[in-house]
Structure 1
Amino acid sequence: MTVAPAVVGVVGGGRMGAGIARSFAAAGSSVTVVESGAEAAAAALDRIAGGLRRAEERGRSAEPAERVLGRVTAAASMDALPPGTDLVVEAVPEDPALKVRVLAAAERAVGGGAVLATNTSSLPVTELGSALTRPERFLGMHFFNPVPASALVELVVTGRTARETVDTALGWVRALGKREVVVGDSPGFASSRLGVALGLEAIRMVEEGVAEPEAIDTAMTLGYRHPMGPLRLTDLVGLDVRLAIAEHLHTALGERFAPPRLLREKVARGELGRKTGRGFYVWRD
Protein backbone atom coordinates (compact mmCIF):
# COMPACT_ATOMS: atom_id res chain seq x y z
CA MET A 1 0.00 0.00 0.00
CA THR A 2 1.23 3.51 -0.82
CA VAL A 3 -0.37 6.81 0.10
CA ALA A 4 -0.56 10.24 -1.46
CA PRO A 5 1.98 12.92 -0.48
CA ALA A 6 1.44 14.00 3.09
CA VAL A 7 1.75 17.16 5.15
CA VAL A 8 4.74 16.37 7.32
CA GLY A 9 6.44 18.00 10.29
CA VAL A 10 10.00 17.13 11.30
CA VAL A 11 11.16 18.33 14.71
CA GLY A 12 14.93 18.62 14.70
CA GLY A 13 16.90 19.72 11.65
CA GLY A 14 20.26 18.05 12.24
CA ARG A 15 21.76 15.47 9.91
CA MET A 16 18.97 12.92 10.47
CA GLY A 17 16.10 15.40 10.60
CA ALA A 18 17.30 17.19 7.47
CA GLY A 19 17.58 13.86 5.65
CA ILE A 20 14.06 12.86 6.69
CA ALA A 21 12.65 16.23 5.60
CA ARG A 22 14.50 16.07 2.28
CA SER A 23 13.22 12.56 1.56
CA PHE A 24 9.58 13.46 2.20
CA ALA A 25 9.87 16.65 0.16
CA ALA A 26 11.45 14.73 -2.73
CA ALA A 27 8.48 12.36 -2.61
CA GLY A 28 6.05 15.29 -3.00
CA SER A 29 5.15 16.06 0.61
CA SER A 30 4.88 19.52 2.10
CA VAL A 31 7.38 19.59 4.97
CA THR A 32 7.84 21.92 7.95
CA VAL A 33 11.08 21.56 9.90
CA VAL A 34 10.93 22.85 13.47
CA GLU A 35 14.15 23.84 15.22
CA SER A 36 15.02 25.42 18.58
CA GLY A 37 15.58 28.95 17.25
CA ALA A 38 15.74 31.07 14.12
CA GLU A 39 19.46 30.49 13.57
CA ALA A 40 19.12 26.72 13.91
CA ALA A 41 16.09 26.74 11.59
CA ALA A 42 18.05 28.63 8.92
CA ALA A 43 20.94 26.17 9.28
CA ALA A 44 18.55 23.23 8.85
CA LEU A 45 17.15 24.73 5.65
CA ASP A 46 20.70 25.29 4.34
CA ARG A 47 21.53 21.68 5.17
CA ILE A 48 18.54 20.41 3.21
CA ALA A 49 19.26 22.75 0.29
CA GLY A 50 22.88 21.62 0.13
CA GLY A 51 21.91 17.97 0.02
CA LEU A 52 19.33 18.56 -2.71
CA ARG A 53 21.77 20.53 -4.85
CA ARG A 54 24.49 17.91 -4.54
CA ALA A 55 21.98 15.21 -5.53
CA GLU A 56 20.97 17.25 -8.57
CA GLU A 57 24.61 17.77 -9.61
CA ARG A 58 25.17 14.01 -9.43
CA GLY A 59 22.06 13.22 -11.45
CA ARG A 60 20.31 11.60 -8.51
CA SER A 61 17.27 13.86 -8.34
CA ALA A 62 14.01 13.42 -10.26
CA GLU A 63 13.22 17.15 -9.89
CA PRO A 64 15.25 20.35 -9.78
CA ALA A 65 16.57 21.02 -6.30
CA GLU A 66 14.85 24.41 -6.04
CA ARG A 67 11.45 22.91 -6.85
CA VAL A 68 11.83 20.31 -4.09
CA LEU A 69 13.15 22.94 -1.69
CA GLY A 70 10.02 24.98 -2.39
CA ARG A 71 8.05 22.35 -0.50
CA VAL A 72 10.15 22.81 2.67
CA THR A 73 9.66 25.44 5.38
CA ALA A 74 11.86 25.87 8.44
CA ALA A 75 10.52 27.42 11.63
CA ALA A 76 11.49 28.05 15.23
CA SER A 77 8.18 27.08 16.87
CA MET A 78 5.77 24.15 16.96
CA ASP A 79 3.05 26.69 16.22
CA ALA A 80 4.31 26.73 12.63
CA LEU A 81 3.11 23.15 12.05
CA PRO A 82 0.17 23.62 9.68
CA PRO A 83 -3.43 22.53 10.31
CA GLY A 84 -4.05 19.15 8.77
CA THR A 85 -0.55 17.86 9.43
CA ASP A 86 -0.60 14.12 8.75
CA LEU A 87 2.69 13.07 10.35
CA VAL A 88 5.21 14.56 12.79
CA VAL A 89 8.60 12.85 13.05
CA GLU A 90 10.65 13.72 16.14
CA ALA A 91 14.37 13.71 15.30
CA VAL A 92 16.00 15.48 18.25
CA PRO A 93 19.06 14.10 20.14
CA GLU A 94 18.81 10.78 22.01
CA ASP A 95 17.75 12.33 25.32
CA PRO A 96 14.62 10.57 26.64
CA ALA A 97 13.30 13.53 28.65
CA LEU A 98 13.77 15.87 25.67
CA LYS A 99 12.01 13.49 23.32
CA VAL A 100 9.04 13.08 25.69
CA ARG A 101 8.65 16.87 25.92
CA VAL A 102 8.97 17.36 22.17
CA LEU A 103 6.44 14.66 21.32
CA ALA A 104 3.90 16.00 23.82
CA ALA A 105 4.33 19.52 22.46
CA ALA A 106 3.93 18.27 18.88
CA GLU A 107 0.71 16.46 19.79
CA ARG A 108 -0.69 19.65 21.32
CA ALA A 109 0.27 21.61 18.22
CA VAL A 110 -1.24 19.32 15.58
CA GLY A 111 -4.12 17.66 17.44
CA GLY A 112 -5.09 14.03 17.82
CA GLY A 113 -5.53 13.17 14.15
CA ALA A 114 -1.87 13.22 13.18
CA VAL A 115 0.47 10.27 13.46
CA LEU A 116 3.46 10.94 15.72
CA ALA A 117 6.73 9.10 15.26
CA THR A 118 10.08 9.04 16.99
CA ASN A 119 13.30 8.47 15.07
CA THR A 120 15.13 6.96 18.05
CA SER A 121 17.61 4.22 17.22
CA SER A 122 17.37 2.40 20.56
CA LEU A 123 15.31 4.15 23.27
CA PRO A 124 12.07 2.47 24.46
CA VAL A 125 9.33 3.82 22.21
CA THR A 126 6.58 3.06 24.73
CA GLU A 127 8.27 5.24 27.35
CA LEU A 128 8.83 8.07 24.87
CA GLY A 129 5.08 8.16 24.23
CA SER A 130 4.20 8.19 27.92
CA ALA A 131 2.91 11.79 27.89
CA LEU A 132 0.74 11.43 24.77
CA THR A 133 -3.03 11.48 24.99
CA ARG A 134 -3.40 9.23 21.92
CA PRO A 135 -0.64 6.61 22.09
CA GLU A 136 -2.49 4.54 19.48
CA ARG A 137 -1.35 7.14 16.92
CA PHE A 138 2.32 6.79 17.90
CA LEU A 139 5.16 4.52 16.76
CA GLY A 140 8.86 4.47 16.03
CA MET A 141 10.08 5.30 12.52
CA HIS A 142 13.79 4.55 12.69
CA PHE A 143 15.46 6.01 9.61
CA PHE A 144 19.07 5.23 8.72
CA ASN A 145 21.97 7.54 7.93
CA PRO A 146 22.24 8.94 5.30
CA VAL A 147 18.46 8.99 5.02
CA PRO A 148 18.06 9.81 1.30
CA ALA A 149 20.38 6.96 0.24
CA SER A 150 19.20 4.38 2.78
CA ALA A 151 16.69 1.76 1.66
CA LEU A 152 15.32 0.85 5.10
CA VAL A 153 12.94 2.24 7.72
CA GLU A 154 12.45 0.22 10.90
CA LEU A 155 8.89 0.61 12.19
CA VAL A 156 8.73 0.04 15.94
CA VAL A 157 5.30 -0.88 17.25
CA THR A 158 4.28 -0.55 20.89
CA GLY A 159 1.54 -2.49 22.65
CA ARG A 160 -0.77 0.50 22.14
CA THR A 161 -0.03 1.36 18.50
CA ALA A 162 -3.17 0.91 16.38
CA ARG A 163 -3.04 -1.33 13.30
CA GLU A 164 -4.32 1.60 11.23
CA THR A 165 -1.32 3.66 12.35
CA VAL A 166 1.08 0.93 11.26
CA ASP A 167 -0.64 0.56 7.88
CA THR A 168 -0.50 4.30 7.28
CA ALA A 169 3.18 4.41 8.19
CA LEU A 170 3.84 1.49 5.83
CA GLY A 171 2.27 3.51 3.03
CA TRP A 172 4.48 6.50 3.73
CA VAL A 173 7.63 4.38 3.84
CA ARG A 174 6.83 2.85 0.47
CA ALA A 175 5.95 6.24 -1.01
CA LEU A 176 9.51 7.27 -0.10
CA GLY A 177 10.80 4.37 -2.20
CA LYS A 178 12.05 2.53 0.89
CA ARG A 179 11.40 -0.86 2.48
CA GLU A 180 10.18 -1.44 6.00
CA VAL A 181 10.71 -3.98 8.72
CA VAL A 182 8.16 -4.06 11.53
CA VAL A 183 9.49 -4.93 14.99
CA GLY A 184 8.26 -4.87 18.56
CA ASP A 185 9.42 -2.34 21.13
CA SER A 186 12.47 -4.10 22.56
CA PRO A 187 15.87 -2.61 23.56
CA GLY A 188 17.78 -1.73 20.42
CA PHE A 189 14.93 -3.09 18.24
CA ALA A 190 16.41 -5.40 15.55
CA SER A 191 18.85 -3.19 13.68
CA SER A 192 20.64 -1.34 16.49
CA ARG A 193 20.87 -4.43 18.68
CA LEU A 194 22.58 -6.50 15.99
CA GLY A 195 24.57 -3.62 14.49
CA VAL A 196 25.94 -2.44 17.82
CA ALA A 197 26.85 -6.00 18.85
CA LEU A 198 28.97 -6.38 15.70
CA GLY A 199 30.47 -2.90 16.05
CA LEU A 200 31.46 -3.36 19.68
CA GLU A 201 33.14 -6.69 18.97
CA ALA A 202 35.08 -5.09 16.09
CA ILE A 203 36.25 -2.33 18.46
CA ARG A 204 37.37 -4.94 21.01
CA MET A 205 39.38 -6.64 18.26
CA VAL A 206 41.22 -3.38 17.54
CA GLU A 207 41.72 -2.82 21.27
CA GLU A 208 43.20 -6.32 21.68
CA GLY A 209 45.50 -5.95 18.66
CA VAL A 210 43.79 -8.70 16.66
CA ALA A 211 43.85 -6.64 13.45
CA GLU A 212 43.82 -3.09 12.11
CA PRO A 213 40.45 -1.42 11.34
CA GLU A 214 40.94 -1.77 7.58
CA ALA A 215 41.57 -5.52 7.88
CA ILE A 216 38.50 -6.09 10.05
CA ASP A 217 36.28 -4.08 7.72
CA THR A 218 37.65 -5.82 4.63
CA ALA A 219 36.97 -9.20 6.23
CA MET A 220 33.30 -8.29 6.58
CA THR A 221 32.86 -6.59 3.19
CA LEU A 222 34.60 -9.29 1.14
CA GLY A 223 34.01 -12.31 3.35
CA TYR A 224 30.39 -11.66 4.34
CA ARG A 225 29.33 -9.21 1.61
CA HIS A 226 28.50 -6.42 4.03
CA PRO A 227 28.32 -3.17 2.06
CA MET A 228 30.45 -1.46 4.70
CA GLY A 229 32.64 -2.71 7.54
CA PRO A 230 31.54 -2.23 11.17
CA LEU A 231 34.31 0.26 12.02
CA ARG A 232 33.80 2.50 9.01
CA LEU A 233 30.09 2.41 9.77
CA THR A 234 30.81 3.39 13.38
CA ASP A 235 32.72 6.42 12.06
CA LEU A 236 29.74 7.41 9.91
CA VAL A 237 27.18 6.93 12.68
CA GLY A 238 29.40 8.75 15.21
CA LEU A 239 31.36 7.14 18.02
CA ASP A 240 29.46 9.24 20.55
CA VAL A 241 26.16 7.94 19.17
CA ARG A 242 27.42 4.34 19.27
CA LEU A 243 28.60 4.83 22.86
CA ALA A 244 25.22 6.19 23.97
CA ILE A 245 23.37 3.28 22.38
CA ALA A 246 25.82 0.76 23.87
CA GLU A 247 25.37 2.24 27.35
CA HIS A 248 21.59 1.97 27.02
CA LEU A 249 21.80 -1.64 25.81
CA HIS A 250 24.34 -2.47 28.53
CA THR A 251 21.83 -1.33 31.14
CA ALA A 252 18.93 -3.13 29.49
CA LEU A 253 20.55 -6.35 28.25
CA GLY A 254 23.67 -6.93 30.27
CA GLU A 255 27.43 -7.25 30.00
CA ARG A 256 27.59 -8.34 26.38
CA PHE A 257 26.89 -4.72 25.44
CA ALA A 258 29.48 -3.18 27.80
CA PRO A 259 31.23 -0.38 25.84
CA PRO A 260 34.92 -1.19 25.14
CA ARG A 261 37.55 0.98 26.81
CA LEU A 262 38.84 2.11 23.39
CA LEU A 263 35.43 3.48 22.43
CA ARG A 264 35.21 5.52 25.64
CA GLU A 265 38.76 6.84 25.15
CA LYS A 266 38.13 7.95 21.58
CA VAL A 267 34.92 9.73 22.53
CA ALA A 268 36.71 11.47 25.43
CA ARG A 269 39.38 12.67 22.97
CA GLY A 270 36.75 14.02 20.60
CA GLU A 271 37.49 11.39 17.94
CA LEU A 272 33.85 10.94 16.97
CA GLY A 273 34.28 9.76 13.38
CA ARG A 274 33.56 11.51 10.14
CA LYS A 275 31.93 14.56 11.74
CA THR A 276 35.15 15.46 13.57
CA GLY A 277 37.57 14.20 10.91
CA ARG A 278 38.93 11.27 12.92
CA GLY A 279 37.57 8.08 14.46
CA PHE A 280 38.87 4.69 13.42
CA TYR A 281 39.78 6.37 10.12
CA VAL A 282 40.97 9.84 9.10
CA TRP A 283 38.31 11.71 7.10
CA ARG A 284 39.38 14.50 4.78
CA ASP A 285 36.10 15.51 3.10
Structure 2
Amino acid sequence: MTDPTLAHDLRIETGRGAIFARMWWEKASLHDAPPPIVLFHDSLGAVDLWRSFPRALAVATGRPVIAYDRLGFGRSDAFPGALPADFIEAEGRDTLPLLREAFGFTQFIACGHSVGGGMAVETAGRYRETCLAVITMGAQAFIEDRTLDGIRVARATFQQPEELARLARYHDDKARWVVDAWTETWLSPDFAGWTQDKALDKVACPLLAIHGDADEFGSPAHPGRIAEGRGRAVLLPGIGHNPHREAEAQTVAMIAGFLAGLDGHADQGLGLGAGA
Protein backbone atom coordinates (compact mmCIF):
# COMPACT_ATOMS: atom_id res chain seq x y z
CA MET A 1 0.00 0.00 0.00
CA THR A 2 1.39 3.39 -0.97
CA ASP A 3 1.74 6.22 1.51
CA PRO A 4 -0.57 9.11 0.45
CA THR A 5 1.64 11.62 2.24
CA LEU A 6 5.15 10.91 0.98
CA ALA A 7 7.20 14.12 0.84
CA HIS A 8 8.74 15.11 -2.49
CA ASP A 9 11.19 18.03 -2.48
CA LEU A 10 12.16 20.34 -5.33
CA ARG A 11 14.34 23.39 -5.84
CA ILE A 12 12.84 25.74 -8.40
CA GLU A 13 14.82 28.48 -10.12
CA THR A 14 13.07 31.86 -10.16
CA GLY A 15 15.62 33.97 -12.03
CA ARG A 16 16.49 35.78 -8.79
CA GLY A 17 17.44 32.68 -6.82
CA ALA A 18 16.05 29.21 -6.14
CA ILE A 19 13.07 28.44 -3.91
CA PHE A 20 12.52 25.24 -1.93
CA ALA A 21 9.19 23.44 -2.34
CA ARG A 22 7.72 20.24 -0.94
CA MET A 23 4.70 18.18 -2.01
CA TRP A 24 2.92 15.63 0.15
CA TRP A 25 1.44 12.97 -2.13
CA GLU A 26 1.72 9.26 -2.87
CA LYS A 27 3.63 9.88 -6.12
CA ALA A 28 6.16 12.41 -7.34
CA SER A 29 3.82 13.13 -10.25
CA LEU A 30 0.37 14.74 -10.12
CA HIS A 31 -0.84 12.75 -13.13
CA ASP A 32 -4.44 11.67 -12.42
CA ALA A 33 -4.30 13.40 -9.01
CA PRO A 34 -7.00 15.80 -7.80
CA PRO A 35 -6.11 19.51 -7.87
CA PRO A 36 -3.58 20.25 -5.12
CA ILE A 37 -3.82 22.58 -2.14
CA VAL A 38 -1.08 25.24 -2.35
CA LEU A 39 0.02 26.67 1.01
CA PHE A 40 1.22 30.27 1.41
CA HIS A 41 3.15 30.84 4.65
CA ASP A 42 3.13 33.77 7.05
CA SER A 43 5.67 36.57 7.52
CA LEU A 44 8.07 34.45 9.60
CA GLY A 45 7.10 31.14 8.02
CA ALA A 46 8.73 28.33 6.10
CA VAL A 47 7.86 24.83 4.92
CA ASP A 48 9.18 23.32 8.15
CA LEU A 49 7.11 25.69 10.28
CA TRP A 50 3.88 24.22 8.89
CA ARG A 51 4.93 21.19 10.98
CA SER A 52 2.40 18.35 10.78
CA PHE A 53 -0.38 20.39 9.17
CA PRO A 54 0.34 19.69 5.45
CA ARG A 55 0.55 15.92 5.95
CA ALA A 56 -2.64 15.91 8.03
CA LEU A 57 -4.37 18.02 5.39
CA ALA A 58 -3.33 15.64 2.60
CA VAL A 59 -4.69 12.66 4.55
CA ALA A 60 -7.98 14.34 5.45
CA THR A 61 -8.73 15.80 2.02
CA GLY A 62 -7.28 13.10 -0.24
CA ARG A 63 -5.50 15.87 -2.16
CA PRO A 64 -1.85 16.65 -2.78
CA VAL A 65 -0.55 19.49 -0.62
CA ILE A 66 2.26 21.77 -1.83
CA ALA A 67 4.16 24.21 0.38
CA TYR A 68 7.16 26.35 -0.46
CA ASP A 69 9.59 28.77 1.14
CA ARG A 70 9.20 32.22 -0.38
CA LEU A 71 12.42 33.71 -1.69
CA GLY A 72 14.34 34.95 1.36
CA PHE A 73 12.78 32.39 3.72
CA GLY A 74 13.57 28.92 5.00
CA ARG A 75 15.65 26.81 2.61
CA SER A 76 15.14 29.18 -0.33
CA ASP A 77 17.89 31.54 -1.46
CA ALA A 78 18.26 35.01 0.02
CA PHE A 79 16.01 37.74 -1.32
CA PRO A 80 17.94 40.24 -3.48
CA GLY A 81 17.29 43.50 -1.66
CA ALA A 82 14.34 44.89 0.27
CA LEU A 83 10.84 43.42 0.15
CA PRO A 84 8.93 45.21 -2.65
CA ALA A 85 5.68 47.06 -2.00
CA ASP A 86 3.70 44.57 -4.08
CA PHE A 87 5.06 41.47 -2.30
CA ILE A 88 1.59 40.12 -1.45
CA GLU A 89 0.35 40.29 -5.04
CA ALA A 90 3.68 39.03 -6.40
CA GLU A 91 3.33 35.47 -5.08
CA GLY A 92 0.41 34.71 -7.38
CA ARG A 93 1.85 36.65 -10.28
CA ASP A 94 5.44 35.43 -10.13
CA THR A 95 5.66 32.24 -8.07
CA LEU A 96 2.49 30.27 -8.75
CA PRO A 97 3.34 29.82 -12.47
CA LEU A 98 6.69 28.31 -11.43
CA LEU A 99 4.99 25.90 -9.03
CA ARG A 100 2.51 24.91 -11.72
CA GLU A 101 5.27 24.13 -14.18
CA ALA A 102 7.47 22.30 -11.67
CA PHE A 103 4.74 20.08 -10.21
CA GLY A 104 2.48 19.87 -13.26
CA PHE A 105 -0.95 21.17 -12.23
CA THR A 106 -3.46 23.66 -13.56
CA GLN A 107 -6.41 23.78 -11.16
CA PHE A 108 -5.61 24.33 -7.48
CA ILE A 109 -6.88 25.44 -4.08
CA ALA A 110 -5.18 28.43 -2.42
CA CYS A 111 -4.69 28.25 1.36
CA GLY A 112 -2.71 30.75 3.40
CA HIS A 113 -1.89 31.73 6.95
CA SER A 114 -1.66 35.38 8.11
CA VAL A 115 -0.15 37.42 5.25
CA GLY A 116 -0.14 34.13 3.34
CA GLY A 117 -3.92 34.35 3.51
CA GLY A 118 -3.66 37.67 1.68
CA MET A 119 -1.45 35.97 -0.90
CA ALA A 120 -4.02 33.18 -1.28
CA VAL A 121 -6.76 35.77 -1.89
CA GLU A 122 -4.65 37.66 -4.42
CA THR A 123 -3.82 34.41 -6.20
CA ALA A 124 -7.46 33.30 -6.27
CA GLY A 125 -8.46 36.62 -7.80
CA ARG A 126 -5.75 36.42 -10.44
CA TYR A 127 -6.59 32.83 -11.48
CA ARG A 128 -10.37 32.98 -11.42
CA GLU A 129 -10.77 30.17 -13.96
CA THR A 130 -8.50 27.65 -12.25
CA CYS A 131 -8.58 28.44 -8.51
CA LEU A 132 -11.31 26.19 -7.14
CA ALA A 133 -11.41 27.56 -3.58
CA VAL A 134 -9.56 29.86 -1.20
CA ILE A 135 -8.95 29.33 2.53
CA THR A 136 -7.48 31.89 4.92
CA MET A 137 -6.29 31.28 8.48
CA GLY A 138 -5.57 34.25 10.75
CA ALA A 139 -5.44 36.54 7.72
CA GLN A 140 -5.60 40.32 7.79
CA ALA A 141 -7.95 42.29 5.54
CA PHE A 142 -6.73 45.76 6.53
CA ILE A 143 -4.42 47.49 9.01
CA GLU A 144 -5.74 48.00 12.54
CA ASP A 145 -4.19 48.97 15.87
CA ARG A 146 -4.21 45.36 17.14
CA THR A 147 -2.15 44.30 14.11
CA LEU A 148 0.44 47.03 14.60
CA ASP A 149 0.61 46.57 18.37
CA GLY A 150 1.26 42.85 17.94
CA ILE A 151 4.01 43.53 15.42
CA ARG A 152 5.67 46.08 17.73
CA VAL A 153 5.75 43.50 20.51
CA ALA A 154 7.28 40.95 18.12
CA ARG A 155 9.88 43.44 16.88
CA ALA A 156 11.03 44.05 20.45
CA THR A 157 11.11 40.31 21.15
CA PHE A 158 13.37 39.64 18.18
CA GLN A 159 15.91 42.17 19.41
CA GLN A 160 16.87 39.47 21.92
CA PRO A 161 19.68 37.33 20.45
CA GLU A 162 18.19 34.08 21.74
CA GLU A 163 14.88 34.75 19.98
CA LEU A 164 16.59 35.56 16.70
CA ALA A 165 18.70 32.41 17.09
CA ARG A 166 15.52 30.37 17.51
CA LEU A 167 14.19 31.76 14.23
CA ALA A 168 17.56 31.12 12.57
CA ARG A 169 16.97 27.39 13.02
CA TYR A 170 14.54 27.73 10.12
CA HIS A 171 16.00 30.66 8.15
CA ASP A 172 19.76 30.38 8.82
CA ASP A 173 21.58 33.68 8.27
CA LYS A 174 18.47 35.16 6.64
CA ALA A 175 16.66 35.41 10.00
CA ARG A 176 17.32 39.12 10.57
CA TRP A 177 16.15 39.94 7.03
CA VAL A 178 12.99 37.88 7.64
CA VAL A 179 12.13 39.78 10.82
CA ASP A 180 12.85 43.18 9.31
CA ALA A 181 10.95 42.39 6.12
CA TRP A 182 7.89 41.74 8.28
CA THR A 183 8.08 44.41 10.95
CA GLU A 184 9.46 47.33 8.95
CA THR A 185 7.09 46.75 6.03
CA TRP A 186 3.92 46.52 8.14
CA LEU A 187 4.92 49.39 10.46
CA SER A 188 5.84 51.71 7.60
CA PRO A 189 3.51 54.70 7.13
CA ASP A 190 3.44 53.81 3.43
CA PHE A 191 1.69 50.53 4.28
CA ALA A 192 -0.91 52.06 6.60
CA GLY A 193 -3.62 52.23 3.95
CA TRP A 194 -3.27 48.64 2.74
CA THR A 195 -6.44 46.57 2.42
CA GLN A 196 -7.51 43.36 0.69
CA ASP A 197 -10.68 44.94 -0.70
CA LYS A 198 -9.69 45.10 -4.38
CA ALA A 199 -8.30 41.57 -4.33
CA LEU A 200 -11.39 40.22 -2.57
CA ASP A 201 -13.63 41.78 -5.22
CA LYS A 202 -11.92 39.59 -7.84
CA VAL A 203 -12.46 36.27 -6.00
CA ALA A 204 -14.98 34.09 -7.84
CA CYS A 205 -14.58 30.77 -6.00
CA PRO A 206 -15.87 29.46 -2.65
CA LEU A 207 -14.08 31.01 0.33
CA LEU A 208 -13.51 29.94 3.93
CA ALA A 209 -11.98 32.38 6.45
CA ILE A 210 -10.81 30.78 9.72
CA HIS A 211 -9.80 33.02 12.62
CA GLY A 212 -9.13 32.71 16.35
CA ASP A 213 -11.00 35.09 18.62
CA ALA A 214 -7.79 35.56 20.64
CA ASP A 215 -5.66 36.40 17.58
CA GLU A 216 -3.11 38.97 18.70
CA PHE A 217 -2.62 40.29 15.14
CA GLY A 218 -6.21 40.82 14.06
CA SER A 219 -9.70 41.22 15.49
CA PRO A 220 -12.76 39.20 14.39
CA ALA A 221 -13.50 42.03 11.96
CA HIS A 222 -10.95 40.51 9.56
CA PRO A 223 -12.61 37.18 8.77
CA GLY A 224 -15.94 38.96 8.60
CA ARG A 225 -14.62 41.37 5.99
CA ILE A 226 -12.85 38.63 4.04
CA ALA A 227 -15.96 36.44 3.84
CA GLU A 228 -18.64 39.13 3.57
CA GLY A 229 -20.92 38.35 0.63
CA ARG A 230 -18.56 35.75 -0.78
CA GLY A 231 -18.09 32.90 1.67
CA ARG A 232 -18.04 31.69 5.25
CA ALA A 233 -16.13 33.01 8.25
CA VAL A 234 -15.47 30.78 11.26
CA LEU A 235 -14.34 32.21 14.59
CA LEU A 236 -12.59 29.71 16.87
CA PRO A 237 -13.06 30.43 20.61
CA GLY A 238 -9.85 30.66 22.64
CA ILE A 239 -7.58 30.29 19.61
CA GLY A 240 -4.84 32.76 18.73
CA HIS A 241 -3.03 33.58 15.51
CA ASN A 242 -2.21 29.99 14.48
CA PRO A 243 -5.37 27.88 14.12
CA HIS A 244 -3.48 25.24 12.11
CA ARG A 245 -1.14 24.67 15.07
CA GLU A 246 -3.30 25.52 18.10
CA ALA A 247 -6.29 23.56 16.84
CA GLU A 248 -4.86 21.44 14.04
CA ALA A 249 -7.41 18.62 14.08
CA GLN A 250 -10.34 21.03 14.17
CA THR A 251 -8.90 23.22 11.42
CA VAL A 252 -8.05 20.27 9.18
CA ALA A 253 -11.53 18.77 9.63
CA MET A 254 -13.14 22.12 8.83
CA ILE A 255 -11.10 22.52 5.64
CA ALA A 256 -11.76 18.91 4.60
CA GLY A 257 -15.50 19.39 5.06
CA PHE A 258 -15.43 22.65 3.12
CA LEU A 259 -13.55 21.09 0.21
CA ALA A 260 -15.73 17.97 0.22
CA GLY A 261 -18.68 20.27 -0.36
CA LEU A 262 -17.16 21.65 -3.57
CA ASP A 263 -17.90 18.53 -5.60
CA GLY A 264 -21.33 18.11 -4.09
CA HIS A 265 -22.20 21.81 -4.49
CA ALA A 266 -23.03 21.93 -0.79
CA ASP A 267 -24.10 25.25 0.69
CA GLN A 268 -21.02 26.71 2.32
CA GLY A 269 -23.01 29.26 4.28
CA LEU A 270 -22.43 32.94 4.79
CA GLY A 271 -21.56 35.17 7.68
CA LEU A 272 -19.63 34.64 10.89
CA GLY A 273 -20.09 31.36 12.71
CA ALA A 274 -18.56 29.63 15.68
CA GLY A 275 -16.12 26.79 15.16
CA ALA A 276 -17.50 23.31 15.37
TM-score above 0.5: no
TM-score tier after normalising by the smaller chain length: 0.3 to 0.5
Higher helix share: 1
Q: Which has the higher contact order (CA 8 A, sep 6+)?
A: 2
TM-score (norm 1): 0.32
Q: Larger Rg: 1 or 2?
A: 1
